[in-house]
Amino acid sequence: MAIALSSADRRPLVDSHGRAIRYLRVSVTDRCDLRCRYCMAEQMTFLPRRALLQLEEIAIIAERFIARGVTKLRLSGGEPLVRRDVGQLIDRLGRHVGDGLEELTLTTNGTRLAEHAERLFAAGVRRVNVSMDSVDPDTFRFITRHGDVAQVIGGIRAARDAGLRVKVNAVALAGLNEDQIPSLLAWCANEGVDLSLIETMPLGAIDEDRVDRFVPLGRVFENLSTRFPLIRDTHRTGGPARYWRVNGTDTRLGLISPLTANFCDGCNRVRLTTDGKLYSCLGHDDQVDLKAALRSGGVEAVDDAIDAALLAKPRRHDFRIGAGAAPAVERHMSVTGG
């Protein structure tokens, strides 16, 4: 069911608070080949495959967003590269780069990046984010429950060699990797890749108490600034990170602080789940079902549902960390997409 982009009825993507939506994140699968402790329970129940959007449907919905003004599209998961034939989706969406779409990017855990890097570049991808919370093999294995950091490092180097700009994403975790963040930044600077640090977010029930692992990034930055020559950088990617540069290198350090430095006023993004739900805010449960809309009424129904989602988009999220506090939402990050 291929549907061409249309210039007709390009209703602007603006929410009720006047924020223009230019960024769509798409989870192509909720499955992952790792089980990071802050993200998933060890024994996860994934969506049945029949509940997922078909790749063709993902493409149609993404193309409606592009037709209506989205300029940046990120594919995520779960782990997007574990979905069969995902390369075909990437090829199709990549054809819009330079023709309405300014950037197509990918967030991955890196385990399969080496085998896909060249195809990603050929499809028009120029930048990828790789989740890697430590370069220490034992720490990485503990956080991911069974991962091999050498495999991820190999993927990062393959991506870099293929011409992709790489940014490492790391969640700061007290008692696990906080003391290793300086060595991670040093590794990134040596490899010529960027690093973004993220505060843990209360999404979904996990096997540990997030309060015990929460680290405010202000504390992390103070530590790093005593060890590295960090200078403020005006670089922006359309996301919530604030950036510094390690002086004398090409490596940027980004800080994403959803709990200690709210960034909602400039929010320009919405998220599509692998089963077709469109969430206008990561920290709220309000959603519309674009899969049902597409299957029952085609792209016109999809446009109407998108409008409804933007009308309901809240001013800010409701993330909070506290002893005994329930997660902000019940769904895991892997369902909504990173």
Q: Is 243 annotated as contributing to ligand binding? A: no
Query: What tens digit of pLDDT does each residue of 224-271 get?
Result: 999 999 999 987 765 677 899 999 999 999 998 865 555 566 788 999
Q: Is 267 annotated as contributing to ligand binding? A: yes
Query: What tens digit of pLDDT does each residue of 58-80 get?
Result: 999 999 999 999 999 999 999 99
Q: How confident is the model at residue 335 (pLDDT cuts 50, 70, 90)?
A: low
Residue 83 token pair: 């979905």
Contact 79, 34 (CB under 8 A): yes
Contact 213, 172 (CB under 8 A): no
Average pLDDT on 205-229 reads 82
Q: Is 107 annotated as contributing to ligand binding? A: yes
Paired strand residues for 169:
131, 196
State how far the Cα of 171 lies from the Cα of 306, in Å rounded to an integer: 31
Query: What tens digit of pLDDT does each residue of 84-140 get?
Result: 999 999 999 999 999 999 999 999 999 999 999 999 999 999 999 999 999 999 999
Residue 12 token pair: 């602007």
Residue among 241, 252, 262, 244 at smallest CA distance from 314: 262
Domains of the chain, each with CATH number or no CATH: 23-336 (3.20.20.70)
φ, ψ for residue 68, nearest 5 deg: -100, 10
Q: Is 270 annotated as contributing to ligand binding? A: yes
Query: What tens digit of pLDDT does each residue of 9-48 get?
Result: 568 899 888 999 999 999 999 999 999 988 888 888 899 9
Q: Is 74 annotated as contributing to ligand binding? A: yes
In this prediction, residue 11 carries a pLDDT of 80
Paired strand residues for 244:
232, 253
Contact 64, 53 (CB under 8 A): no
State how far the Cα of 136 lies from the Cα of 85, in Å rounded to an integer: 32
Q: Is 281 annotated as contributing to ligand binding? A: yes
Residue type, 128: V
Cis preceding linkage at 322, omega within 30: no
Share of the chain above pLDDT 90, in %: 70
Query: What tens digit of pLDDT does each residue of 138-196 get?
Result: 999 999 999 999 999 999 999 999 999 999 999 999 999 999 999 999 999 999 999 99
Q: Is 188 annotated as contributing to ligand binding? A: no
Q: Is 25 annotated as contributing to ligand binding? A: yes
Full-model pTM: 0.87
Paired strand residues for 278:
272, 288
State how far the Cα of 87 lies from the Cα of 98, in Å rounded to an integer: 19
